[in-house]
Every structure is written in structure tokens, then in C-alpha cells.
Structure 1
Amino acid sequence: MTFTRIAALAATTALTATAAFADAHVDRTGWPESFTVGTASQGGTFFVYGSGWANLVADELGISGGAEVTGGPMQNMALVHTGEAQFGLTTMGPAAESYAGTNPIAPGLQMTGACAMFPMYQTPFSITTLASSGITSISDIPAGARIGFGPAGSTSDTYFPAMLTALGIEYDRRNGGWDDLGGQLQDGLLDVIAFAAGVPIPAVSQLEVQTDINIIEFTEEEQAAILEAFPVSAFEIAPSTYTTLEAPARSVAMWNFAIANCDLPESFVYAVTDVVMSDNERMVGIHSSARETLPENWDKNTSLMWHPGAARWFIENAGATIDPATIYGN
């Protein structure tokens, strides 16, 4: 299982005493000399968010670290489970499938070596077309439409095709990175892109600068049908998210969580969690979706065992009532 290194590793020099865990009093026994964070394709929110917090943690803790382009949540579960990546980003649906042994990357393997670290944000499911296509609703999508669902094995590729099938849409399924699919849509090689990513999605923001697009919402009936059939919750994309939107766009969403290899030292994961969760303003500066990267959202973990270092941080700093039976190693 290979993946391409994109972010250069951050400098390993010691930092100033203002860094939360950079002083000599912290037990760094067993800490890795470097770390990687599995994200997703370029042009998606996972890559921007993951690259940003990887660099932030590397800077604050004085450890070499950076982000990796991957196939997204399913592959990240596999990479973190095996320890090929120390950290990764996933969503609750793929996490549950990976624990159950139904991850398509390694069917039958229960990937219980990946533990919950901290809540990220909700991933809305949204549809984008060129305005010139005339498609203004899901029911307008013609039979056989060429739909880009993101990287193979991503949250979007795992759930959006099934959602559209449930809504009676017939399509020609295409995969690729978000930047690439955005270019294909603009060049007329795709009819629709079905995104599942934190908003604003960089590829959509870029598209609406370059051309006129439609952002398609679910009808109330379509939303209700999807809520009944899939592990998602109701969501509205705020009109301030994109210049194209003039009103809230009805959608559904799934929570994302950062994950850590369960065998990483407790003190290390505690320190990483502290860097990310103690200053939300810095995280929002990385990507606006981090407005939901808040301590009180610890309870959105519905699928994963907790890493003991992360669990201790939320118990001590956020008043979390985490069941000890859900903490790895207990």
C-alpha cells in the first residue's frame, strides 16, 4: 500500500517555551521521531485541513511531520491500523465499516488498530453542475449522466452512488481527485460532481470563480429518504459558503474524526490533541470547517475506540463522560 508524499516534513528544531509540550518536563518516552497524517486528494477539504494541522502539530511539538495524499477515509483507516501512517482523517461510516471488517481495501480485516483522537467537522453531501447543463435538481440528472464521485474508496465514492441509486438516478460512475474532476466538469467530460467533503470545498470555490455553476440541494422528500437509509444527519449548507448560493442548501452530512494508531504513546497523543483542541482560532485559520473542531463535539464519535491519550484530554479538559469500555487497552 503506497501513497505519495506531498507536504515536506516540518523542521525538527526545538521551539520556544510557548509551545504547549515543548519543554523538558514532558515525558516523551516512546514518541516517534516523525509522523505522517493520511488525508485525501488535493482539491478536497481533507487535504487542506490535514496538511494544516500536521504542520501546526509539528511546529508546536518540535517533531518532523507532514501530510500525505491518500485515497481518503477507507485507506486512512488501513494506513493508521497498520501503523504505516501515525495519524489520519476518517468519517464515521467508513470507520464503522473498517471495524466490522468490510473495508473494501482489505475485506475481512477488522481495522481496530485505529483509534479516535478528536472531532473535526461534518461532511455534507452536495452536488455541483455547470449552469449551462440545465441541471437544477437531482431529478433533472439524466439517465447515464457521467458523475464524478471522488477518489475510489472515499466517503463520497462509498456512499453517494448508493444514495443516488436509492433516489432512482442512473449514472456512469467516474473516480478521481477533486481538482481533476473539477477540471473534467469544466471541460465537459463530466455532467455532475457528487461531493462529500467539508465546506467550502476548494475545488467548488475554484470552479465558481472560473465559470457559472449550480449547487444542487436535496428536496425535503429526498433528504428524508436518505436519512432513513444511511448513517447521516440533516444539514444545511449556509449561503455564505459559496457565492453561488443565495439561500441555505438542504443536504445531509456525516461526522469526521481524526484518528491515531492505537499503540502510539498516551502522552504523545494527549499532546497532539491539546495542540489542536486548545486554540480553535488557529484551526479555523487553516480551514473554516474547523469551526466545528470543538471539545464539546467529542460525543460525535459513534464508531471508534478512543485512544487513551485523547480520551484523557477530553475527560480532563472538556468534562467528557467517555465510557471506560470504549477506551483502547481498558
Structure 2
Amino acid sequence: MRRRHILAAPAFGLTASWLASPALAQPRNASWPRALTMGTAAPGGTYALYGPAWGQMAQEATGVAISYRTTQGPNQNIILVNRREVELGMVTMGVALQAWNGQGDWTQGNRFRDIRALFPMYDTPFHGIALKRSGITGHAQLGGRSVGVGPRGGTPGTYYPQILNTLGVRPSAVRYGSASDLVGQIQDGLLDCFLFASGVPVPAFSEIEVQADVNYLDFTADEVRRLTTQFPELSPGTLPMGTYRKQEKPLNIVGMYNFAISHRSLSDDLAYEITKSVLGQNARFRQAIAAASETLAENWTKNTFLPFHPGAARYLREAGHAVPDSLVQG
């Protein structure tokens, strides 16, 4: 029987306080709401751990209780924030660009213009994993194979089918689901490969490599060139040795940056304090989750189109970064 591993909570001492009831909240400012809700993503991906980690820091700094809603990922987070069904969320910038312009089938032609950027999170590398016994070592070998690509509303679920199509690869089946479910299907022989995009190390990838010998799938130089030409929002990169325990070489990837977002109606001073609480405690944040090593104010430049919330822009400017007025909107 396959053993299941439960993903651990971030390491810096998440206690019951970050699940506190809104009724127990004591906001530092009487004009602030007692509670906010953050859209995260399905179990097995980085958002599920990263969100509560920064949520705790924001809650401690503001006294506003933050709860978490499991979602399908960036697409659904954008929809929920835009509707104010949740006030906070996390997105990849490619999906955010589709939302802003009303492009991509999932938008149904709607423009989601009530979302605002708070702070940069980390790069999302696209890469895959397969059992070593499958013999699969690259994307070109996935023709006629069954592949999983994460939740339908997530970044990999949106982009990976397009990536495979661009590379001329035709899988026999493309399946959607949570990262935890899809690695389970690999172990059960129901899937040949799991293709994903998330902060690294991907928790679900780390889970399966403990239990089985695996190959990590990256891209050839020609594949990287074709993908970055077709999708300008993607950029080339490398995952160094040591990203995963059983990694046998540096991995050539394409990536897309993530940002935390809020609804535009969030008060300026609350947005300021939330942004400050995260970007101002990077050493502590890194102890909680490795992906936080890229959560630095200087990476605000990874966003070139989505307006920053005025409160977030205020903090970034105080930290010495020249966010232009054209990229700030209330």
C-alpha cells in the first residue's frame, strides 16, 4: 500500500493563532475589518504552505484575523478577489495578464480590473516528474502518454496544455487535480508523468522522491527558445543541483513570477502594513518556506502591468524602490 505523507506546516511556529476566529481579532486600527480571507490553492502545491506563512505575519502585524480558502489556484483567486469573495490572493503574472486583458478561455472575455498587486513572491518554474522505471526523461517523450497538469484553474493547468501543443507533443490524456492526488496517481500507475509549476521545491515532488526513484523533466535549449517566443511572459532559468534530493543535474526551465494581490478596496494603510510585515521580515519568512528567499522588495520589477495598491507602493518607495505613478492605482 502506498504511504501518504502529510505536508508539514511552515516551520517558524505556526500555532492555532493563525486559525483564530474573526470574533477574537483585535485590529490595530478600529477602521480595519476584523477578518480577511485569502485564496490559496490545492494541497501539494507551494501556495498551500506559502499563504498561511505570510498570512500569519500579516495577522500578527495588523491584528486582523486571516483565514484561508482552498482554491484551484491563480485563475480562481483572481475571480474571487475581483468579486470580493476573498480579499487577498496569490497569482502568477501570466494568468494575471490574461485576466487584466480579458484573454484566455477561462476569462470568457471579462476583464478583471479590481485586483491590485501587493508584493512579489517567487518565480514559478515549469518542470515535471516521472518514475525512473517509465524511462521518461524529457517533454518530447510524452506523446501518447498520460500526464497530469495540476488543478484546471491553476497556472500549470492553464499553461501546460498550451506548452505541450507548442512543442508538438500530443499526450494520450491530460488529467487535472491537486498535486497530492496526481503524484498518488503516478505511484499507482494511473499516470505516466506529472507536469507542474510552483515554488520549489514543489512539496508533492519532494513527497514522491522519498518513496520512489524518479526523473525530473526539464526543457532543451530549443524548447526554451520556442516557448519564450510563443509566451513572452515566460523567462528562461535554471534549477540548481540540490533543489531536489534525487536531482541528477541542473534543470533548464521556463518560469513565471508570482505576486500577492488584494482587492482595490483594501484600505491604503492596511495594504501598507500587510506589505511591510511580509517584505520586512524576510529572514523569518525564509525559515518558514524556501520559496520566500525570492520574496524581496527589489523584485517588484517583475510586475510591469498590474497596478500596485497605493499602500503597497508606499512601502516599496519607502524601501528605496522607484515604483512609477503609472503603475499605481487605487
TM-score (ref. length: structure 2): 0.90
Equivalents in 2 of 1:9, 1:83: separation in Å?
21
Offset, 1:324: 1.1
2:242 aligned counterpart, secondary structure: helix
Q: Cα RMSD (Å) of the superposition?
A: 1.7
Q: Which residue of structure 2 lines up, in the alignment, with residue 278 of structure 1?
A: 280
Q: Secondary structure at the match of 2:307?
A: coil
User: What corresponds to 1:70 in structure 2?
Assistant: 71
Q: Are the counterparts in 2 of residues 119 and 256 from structure 1 also a CA contact under 8 Å?
A: yes
Give the deviation of 1:58 after TM superposition. 1.6
Task: Return 264-273 or 276-285, whichever deviates more.
Answer: 276-285
Matching residue within 2, 14, 19 for 1:9: 19
Contact 1:92–1:303 (CA under 8 A) maintained in structure 2: no
Q: Which amino acid aligns with 1:281?
A: A
- Cα gap change, 1:259/1:14 in structure 2, threshold over 3 Å: closer, same or farther? closer
Give the match for residue 10 of structure 2.
Answer: none
Any conservation in 1 of the 2:25–2:65 contact (CA below 8 Å)?
no
**Which runs of 5 or more structure 1 residues have no equivalent in the other structure?**
1-6, 16-21
Secondary structure of 1:241's counterpart equals: coil
Instruction: State the match for 1:144 in structure 2.
Output: 144
Correspondence for 1:155: 155
Q: Deviations over 1:81-129 (max 9, x none)?
A: 1111110000111101111123544422211111000000000000111
Distance 1:167 1:103 in 2: 19
Task: Answer yes or no: is the 8 Å Cα contact 2:32–2:64 preserved in 1.
Answer: no
**Farther off after superposition, 274-283 or 320-329:** 320-329
Q: How far did 1:66 drift?
A: 2.2
Is the partner of 1:240 in helix, strand or coil?
A: coil
Give the corresponding residue for 2:11: none
Amino acid corresponding to residue 150 of structure 2 in structure 1: G
| Aligned 8 A contact 1:38 1:69 in 2 | yes
Contact in 2 for aligned 1:53/1:286 (Cα 8 Å):
no
2:4 match: none
Q: Contact 2:239 / 2:253 at 8 angstroms: preserved in 1?
A: yes
In 2, Cα distance between the equivalents of 1:312 and 1:181? 41
Aligned counterparts of 1:316 and 1:251: Cα–Cα separation in 2? 34
SS in 2 for 1:263: coil
Shift of 1:160: 1.1
Q: 1:10·1:58 contact (CA, 8 Å) conserved in 2? A: no
Q: Give the whole-Å Cα distance in 2 for the aligned partners of 1:94 and 1:246.
A: 31
Do structure 1's residue 269 and structure 2's residue 271 form an aligned pair? Answer: yes
Q: CA offsets, 1:1-57, max 9 Å, x none?
A: xxxxxx973366578xxxxxx76xxxx253111011111110100111012111222
Letter in 2 for 1:118: F
User: Following the alignment from structure 1 to structure 2, what is the Cα–Cα distance between the partners of residues 152 and 81?
Assistant: 19
Following superposition, the deviation at residue 302 of structure 1 comes to 2.0
Give 1:320's aligned amino acid: H
What corresponds to 1:31 in structure 2? Answer: 32
The alignment's TM-score, normalised by the length of structure 1, stands at 0.90
The range that moved more, 71-80 or 58-67, is 58-67
Are residues 1:208 and 2:209 paired?
yes
* Runs (4+) off by over 4 Å: 11-15, 103-106
Contact between 2:98 and 2:107, CA under 8 Å: does it hold in 1? no
**Aligned pair partner of 1:236 in 238, 250, 268:** 238
Q: How far apart, in 2, do the equivalents of 1:259 and 1:112 lie?
A: 12
How far apart are residue 328 of structure 1 and its match? 1.2
CA distance in 2, matches of 1:35, 1:229: 38
Mapped to 1, the partners of 2:238 and 2:164 lie a distance apart of: 19
Whether the 8 Å contact between 1:262 and 1:307 is mirrored in structure 2 is yes
Q: Percent identity?
A: 40
Separation of aligned partners in 2, 1:224 and 1:103 = 22
User: Residue 168 of structure 1 aligns with which residue?
Assistant: 168
Q: CA deviation at 1:59?
A: 2.6
1:60 is displaced (CA, Å) by 2.9
Residue in structure 1 matched with residue 324 of structure 2 by the alignment: 323
Could you tell me which runs of 5 or more consecutive residues in structure 2 were left unpaired when the two chains were aligned: 1-15
Distance 1:167 1:110 in 2: 29
Q: Any idea what SS the aligned residue of 1:89 has?
A: strand
Alignment of structure 1 residues 98-137 onto 2, 5 Å: 98-102=99-103, 104-137=105-138
SS of residue in 1 equivalent to 2:19: coil
**What is the CA distance between 1:168 and its match in structure 2?**
1.3
Distance 2:230 2:30 in 1: 46
